[in-house]
């Protein structure tokens, strides 16, 4: 797989591996053996970019994902780019499937979080450390200043922001150059295309999370009943309600047709589409299944022309589709 450059100099594979689902939000949690098989397959496919966060876990083990990766990535640590995130916690009092998030961008929180992440991930530094959501009660300059300190101490080498707006990106970048933003981006969620000019101006990469619209774009899901309750967030996502699935019927049929025309799968078209859009976009699809991981990674071999991208965009602009999950609610402090 080819590499892409995030920011000034962070070299990552064109497609990264979003590791969240192995521990969080999609129901059954992966065993260590399953995780080892997934990571081994990802490495075999040329993937060098692995994404986690301090909050990806289960009720019993809130940091499950970092601990799991700390074990299974150990043999590959020096050959990969490891990214994690800090700066939010769940509102544990909530009873909803996806608990609201409470942002906390205070420097003291970031400095405490990095120690936990380094320990769990069995490493002395992270290659990319994101603030997971923007805390509107803390000036972003303070958060950026804390990231700068972590860099000076060698605990991180690059930093980024997740779900950031242009104004926040510009302010943060002035204090400490930002390597990447990690925002939601898929054929169903294109709002952040408006950030392309600023990312180009400041030379910041775009790591696309939930690039398959949480799985919908694979055209593999047909019934709301397929999702485990209560642990699977998809049971509460608008694109996967019975009504949402019905609203997306025509869209999914079209996805299958354009995929068949290229002799690939809908998941692969979804990822190839964003790879063709900009050279600084790096999708990080997640899966707990080795065959799907292979399918997703091999999207890097599919080349779409700019005319093909344009015609897909034109169809997307008119295609009836449901709302798509926009993330867990942000709780005011």
Ligand X SMILES: NC(=O)c1ccc[n+]([C@@H]2O[C@H](COP(=O)([O-])OP(=O)(O)OC[C@H]3O[C@@H](n4cnc5c(N)ncnc54)[C@H](OP(=O)(O)O)[C@@H]3O)[C@@H](O)[C@H]2O)c1
Residues known to be catalytic: 56
Interface with ligand X includes 55 (CB under 6 A)?
A: no
**Stretch 239-278: interaction string toward ligand X, x if CB under 6 A:** ----------------------------x-----------
Nearer to ligand X, 123 or 270 (CB): 270
> Which residue stretch of 35-43, 103-111, 195-203, 283-291 sits at the interface with ligand X (rule: CB under 6 A)?
283-291
- Among 12, 81, 134, 212, the residue binding ligand X under the rule CB under 6 A is 212
- Among 63, 285, 298, 304, the residue binding ligand X under the rule CB under 6 A is 285
Q: Under DSSP, is residue 131 helix (H, G, I), strand (E, B) or coil?
A: strand
> C-beta of 213: minimal distance to ligand X in Å?
6
DSSP state of 114: H
Interface with ligand X includes 70 (CB under 6 A)?
A: no
Interface with ligand X includes 121 (CB under 6 A)?
A: no
- Among 159, 292, 322, 324, the residue binding ligand X under the rule CB under 6 A is 292
Size of the site for ligand X (CB under 6 A): 28
- Among 4, 7, 14, 21, the residue binding ligand X under the rule CB under 6 A is 21
Which ranges of the chain does DSSP label H, i.e. alpha helix?
32-44, 64-72, 107-120, 140-152, 166-175, 196-202, 242-247, 249-262, 266-277, 290-297, 306-318
CA dist 106 and 167 (Å) reads: 19
Closest CA to 164 of 152, 153, 172, 156: 172
- Among 209, 240, 251, 280, the residue binding ligand X under the rule CB under 6 A is 209
Interface with ligand X includes 286 (CB under 6 A)?
A: yes
Write the DSSP string, 173-218: HHHS---EEEEE-BTTB-GGGGGHHHHHHHT-EEEEESTTGGGGGG
Find the binding residues for ligand X in span 135-194 (CB under 6 A): 162, 182
Interface with ligand X includes 227 (CB under 6 A)?
A: no
The conformational region for residue 27 under phi > 0 = left, psi -120 to 50 = alpha, else beta, is left
- Among 15, 19, 147, 274, the residue binding ligand X under the rule CB under 6 A is 19
| Residues facing residue 162 across a β-bridge | 182
> C-beta of 44: minimal distance to ligand X in Å?
17
Structure tokens belonging to residue 29: 């949690």
CA dist 6 and 280 (Å) reads: 6
Interface with ligand X includes 84 (CB under 6 A)?
A: no
User: What length does the chain have?
Assistant: 333
Backbone angles phi, psi at 253, to 5 degrees: -65, -40
Nearer to ligand X, 155 or 184 (CB): 184
- Among 6, 12, 20, 259, the residue binding ligand X under the rule CB under 6 A is 20
> Which residue stretch of 68-76, 139-147, 193-201, 211-219 sits at the interface with ligand X (rule: CB under 6 A)?
211-219
Structure tokens belonging to residue 141: 């300059």
Interface with ligand X includes 101 (CB under 6 A)?
A: no
> C-beta of 330: minimal distance to ligand X in Å?
11
Torsion of CA 78, 207, 252, 2, to 10 degrees: -50
CA dist 99 and 96 (Å) reads: 6
Interface with ligand X includes 218 (CB under 6 A)?
A: yes
- Is the link from the previous residue into 196 a cis peptide, with omega within 30 of 0? no
Binding region for ligand X (CB under 6 A)? 18-21, 26, 51, 132, 162, 182, 209-215, 218, 220, 267, 284-289, 292, 295-296
């Amino acid at each position: 797989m080819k590499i892409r450059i995030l920011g000034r100099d962070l070299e990552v594979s064109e497609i990264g591996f979003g590791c969240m689902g192995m521990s969080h939000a999609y129901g059954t949690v992966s065993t260590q053996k399953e995780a080892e098989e997934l990571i081994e397959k990802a490495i075999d496919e040329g993937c060098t970019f692995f994404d986690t966060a301090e909050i990806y876990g289960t009720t019993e083990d809130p940091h499950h994902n970092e601990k799991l990766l700390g074990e299974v990535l150990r043999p590959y640590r020096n050959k990969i780019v490891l990214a994690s995130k800090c700066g939010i916690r769940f509102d544990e009092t909530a009873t909803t499937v996806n608990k609201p998030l409470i942002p906390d961008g205070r420097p003291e929180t970031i400095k405490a979080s990095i120690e936990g992440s380094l320990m769990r991930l069995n490493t002395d530094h992270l290659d990319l450390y994101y603030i997971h959501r923007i805390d509107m009660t803390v000036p972003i300059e303070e958060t950026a200043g804390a990231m700068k300190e972590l860099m000076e101490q060698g605990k991180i080498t690059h930093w980024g922001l997740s779900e950031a707006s242009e104004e926040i990106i510009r302010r943060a970048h002035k204090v400490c150059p930002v390597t990447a933003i990690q925002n939601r981006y898929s054929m169903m969620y294109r709002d952040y295309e408006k950030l392309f000019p600023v990312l180009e101006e400041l030379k910041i990469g775009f790591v696309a999370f939930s690039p398959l619209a949480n799985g919908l774009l694979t055209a593999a899901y047909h019934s709301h009943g397929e999702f485990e309750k209560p642990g699977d967030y998809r049971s509460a996502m608008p694109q996967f309600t019975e009504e949402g699935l019905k609203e997306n019927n025509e869209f999914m049929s079209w996805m299958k047709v354009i995929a068949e025309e290229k002799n690939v799968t809908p998941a692969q078209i979804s990822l190839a589409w964003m790879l063709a859009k900009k050279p600084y976009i790096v999708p990080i699809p997640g899966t707990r299944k080795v065959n799907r991981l292979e399918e997703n990674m091999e999207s890097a071999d599919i080349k779409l022309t700019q005319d093909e991208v344009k015609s897909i965009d034109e169809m997307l602009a008119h295609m009836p589709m449901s709302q798509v999950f926009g993330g867990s609610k942000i709780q005011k402090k």
